[in-house]
Amino acid sequence: MKFWIILLLALVVFVSCKTEKSSDENMEINSFINELMAEMTLQEKIGQLNLVTPGGGILTGSVVSTDVEEKIKSGQVGGIFGIYGPEKVKQAQALAVEESRLGIPLLFGSDVIHGYKTTFPIPLGLSCSWDMELIKKTAQVAAKEATADGIFWNFSPMVDIARDPRWGRIAEGAGEDPFLGSAIAKAMVEGYQGDDLSDSKTMMATVKHLALYGASEAGRDYNTVDMSKLRMYNDYLPPYKAAVEAGVGCAMSSFNDVDGIPASGNKWLLTDLLRNQWGFDGFVVSDYTSINEMIAHGMGDLQAVSAMALNAGLDMDMVGEGFLSTLEKSLEEGKVTEEQIDMACRRILEAKYKLGLFDDPYRYNDISRPEKDILSKENRQIAREAAARACVLLKNDNQVLPLKKSGKIALVGPLADSQNNMLGTWAPTGEHHLAVKVVDGFIKNVGSSVQIFYAKGANIVDDPDYAKKINVFGPKVFIDKRSPKEMIDEAINVSKKANVIVAVVGEASEMTGEAANRTNLLIPENQKKLIRALAKTGKPLVLVVMSGRPLALTEELELADAVLFTWHPGVEAGNAIADVIYGDYNPSGKLTATFPRNVGQVPIYHSIRNTGRPQGSDEFQKFKSNYLDVENTPLLPFGYGLSYTDFEYANLKADKTKLTESEVLNITVDIINTGNYDGEEIVQLYIRDMVASITRPLKELKAFEKVPVKKGESKSVSFKISVDDLKFYNANLDYDWEEGEFEIMVGANSADLQSVKVNWSK
């Protein structure tokens, strides 16, 4: 008893010290900023709301900022992106600190989406690891490297839920599921920001793109988004909220409209929801010229849309300079208030304060750091592990994989000897020439014990016009001088000499990413011809598929003996793929976005709701919800992925079948490794709410655990479920649970589940 009282008292003292400390800190920040703002002119305050880019990195809009130096000196810039390196950043910082009237330091930002120079797999690939520690570690490495190079504000994580693989930016997020997406959002924010933003090895994160950007109609980038509030709250908003709860410093508004109002001018979104409901206390930055783009959305001229954005709660204008050029006039005309300008300015200054810039504006400019911190051996090792863990084994008939480190292989395909496509989309700070090609990774792994015959076999695409669109950020597709037939013939000839064929095929890195949408989810036809010809040789055929999106691989899954989906793996591509193909790492990744049978099934995802006419069996039934030409089920379900070993699920048990509100349900299941290798299994738990006040999904992911299980061993995995896991937003948008029956499902993927039913009453 005594012990508990002491513990309680200690807890009270700790909590009150903490709150005292944070309120002291707040007082300190406020008084510092009050003093500073008292000195600032209106123009200087508006200057803080201006984010410029002199044109480094990838330009995703048609405008770049001009007269940047002059603007910095005259206090018309709050932040900058596209400048890299501690010295260059220092020079630019010095313009603000030493040559502007008040010496307010600048923010230096960048898109560090999946690593800075040590490029990790694309985020969609990394999400397939379901490994939060690993994901957090990659974010920590990214922060360490970026800050070593002078960058301390990151335009990441991108947490947009995406259920339409036509959309090129599906590559940048964590896939289709709000529960997994929220866990990843949290891991990334924590990884980037650490415990202390002013630490010179952490960076401020930006959750983007608020909101619903991944639901662009027809998968066409920047397109209209229109969805019910119920779907927003239950399916699309949770990852943004999770990032806010993890303390993210900044939020970026999206290009699309939300409920008829463009996100960058949407007061409901940026103030009512983000600040008032979720308690976000950082600042909001627009996307690249997204304020100006509200003119095209039909919201008025530049002055009108800029006032609309400020009124909505947007604080910083990326590149568009609508704030800089019109807010003064809008203030004179009463279209915005001075309080609003002050508030936006205050939020940006607060971020600068938290980053420690007022103590030392050059804290991120240590010129000795890049050599120590960037692309270190340890960082590259993490990239290698991450790329191996991102791989998803889709098929492995007759245990073709792992390959033995002996004999002869034919290594063919347009991505086998490619370096420029390894990093994947949105790697503007990465360096292609550092990427390990697949052929080099194989040679390094197997040395002289395997004879490797290489042939390109096909171009990524044959059509020069298509190639031109893909090559917009530099050459990714090289069209060979030889005819397609000559290339295929060469590949067949080398295959004849080998015991096994490994064909590295798929998409060029810029076939996904921003404004890289496709209406066709197939591997390009010229590569398909190669695959068909290789299959005809009768030799064991292993496909290594690189891509930034789920693909409709129906034919390939039939033709090949084994398929390893590697996404775009990052700087350690070749090493990681060789590790997996040769069994140094047993693949454990599972899909985080459903693979459709064909593009017509899109949008497709696992947490569907029942219709009033659900299709009962696989067979076509008239007047049921189905298609004439294809089954309802996907090609590969969410959560799917094989291992070189086999796992059996047994003894699924619930410790109770009737529960009340305060009770916790304990679910246990045994995972038995019945195969020939040690491995890791991602155990997934889904819940169905059988009867509710709104239509509910047939299953929702509510828990998962990645467990290592040695060959021949069995592990018991347990999950604790409480009523918090049953909550959803109801028709009044209240977040609550409803009593009744629940089906609890556990298994290897969203379509391979065992279940128990329980009753929960209030």
Point out the residues that are catalytic: 287
Single residue of 293, 514, 572, 689 touching ligand BGC by CB under 6 A: 514
Q: Could you tell me the smallest distance in angstroms from the CB atom of residue 144 to ligand BGC? A: 20
Q: Could you tell me the smallest distance in angstroms from the CB atom of residue 214 to ligand BGC? A: 12
Check residue 288 for interaction with ligand BGC (CB under 6 A). Answer: yes
Closer to ligand BGC by Cβ: residue 287 or 556? 287
Q: Could you tell me the smallest distance in angstroms from the CB atom of residue 134 to ligand BGC? A: 23
Residues β-bridged to residue 755: 745
Phi (first) and psi of residue 650, to 5 degrees: -145, 160
Closer to ligand BGC by Cβ: residue 322 or 589? 322
429: number of Cβ within 10 Å: 25
Amino acid at 59: L
Name the residue number minimizing CB distance to ligand BGC. 60
Closer to ligand BGC by Cβ: residue 234 or 512? 512
Q: Could you tell me the smallest distance in angstroms from the CB atom of residue 60 to ligand BGC? A: 3
Neighbouring residues of 29: CB distance < 8 A, sequence distance ≥ 6: 350, 353, 354
Check residue 155 for interaction with ligand BGC (CB under 6 A). Answer: yes
Check residue 111 for interaction with ligand BGC (CB under 6 A). Answer: yes
Looking at 60-168, list the stretches that DSSP marks H as alpha helix, in order from N- to C-terminal side.
68-73, 86-99, 123-127, 132-148
Q: Could you tell me the smallest distance in angstroms from the CB atom of residue 212 to ligand BGC? A: 14
Single residue of 45, 137, 208, 297 touching ligand BGC by CB under 6 A: 208
Q: Could you tell me the smallest distance in angstroms from the CB atom of residue 154 to ligand BGC? A: 9
- Whole-angstrom distance, CA of residue 535 vs CA of residue 488: 12
CA distance to 105, 453, 487, 526, per residue, from 483 (Å): 57, 20, 6, 11
Check residue 510 for interaction with ligand BGC (CB under 6 A). Answer: no
Q: Give me the count of residues in the chain.
A: 762
Closer to ligand BGC by Cβ: residue 107 or 446? 107
Q: Which of 378, 319, 290, 282 is nearest to 57 (CA)?
A: 319
Pairing of the two strands 250-253 and 283-285: parallel
Which two tokens mark 724? 């918090």
Closer to ligand BGC by Cβ: residue 82 or 414? 82
Contacts 24+ apart (CB under 8 A), 445-452: 445/405, 445/575, 445/578, 445/579, 445/582, 445/584, 446/405, 446/578, 446/582, 449/405, 449/406, 450/405, 450/406, 450/407, 450/408, 450/409, 451/407, 451/408, 451/409, 451/498, 452/408, 452/409, 452/411
Q: Could you tell me the smallest distance in angstroms from the CB atom of residue 273 to ligand BGC? A: 20
Check residue 315 for interaction with ligand BGC (CB under 6 A). Answer: no
Q: What DSSP designation does 275 have?
A: I
Q: What DSSP designation does 594 have?
A: P
Q: Could you tell me the smallest distance in angstroms from the CB atom of residue 173 to ligand BGC? A: 11
Are the C-beta atoms of residues 56 and 82 closer than 8 Å to each other? yes
Determine which helix (DSSP H) or strand (DSSP E) holds 383, and give its type and residue range: helix 377-390
Check residue 176 for interaction with ligand BGC (CB under 6 A). Answer: no
- Whole-angstrom distance, CA of residue 530 vs CA of residue 508: 16
Residues 21-60 interacting with ligand BGC (rule: CB under 6 A): 60
Q: Could you tell me the smallest distance in angstroms from the CB atom of residue 287 to ligand BGC? A: 5
Check residue 759 for interaction with ligand BGC (CB under 6 A). Answer: no
Which two tokens mark 712? 């021949």
Closer to ligand BGC by Cβ: residue 287 or 462? 287
Total binding residues toward ligand BGC, as defined by CB under 6 A? 7
Q: What DSSP designation does 608 have?
A: P
Phi (first) and psi of residue 733, to 5 degrees: 60, 25
231: number of Cβ within 10 Å: 13
Residues 59-98 interacting with ligand BGC (rule: CB under 6 A): 60
Are the C-beta atoms of residues 293 and 255 closer than 8 Å to each other? yes
Enumerate binding residues for ligand BGC (CB under 6 A): 60, 111, 155, 208, 287-288, 514
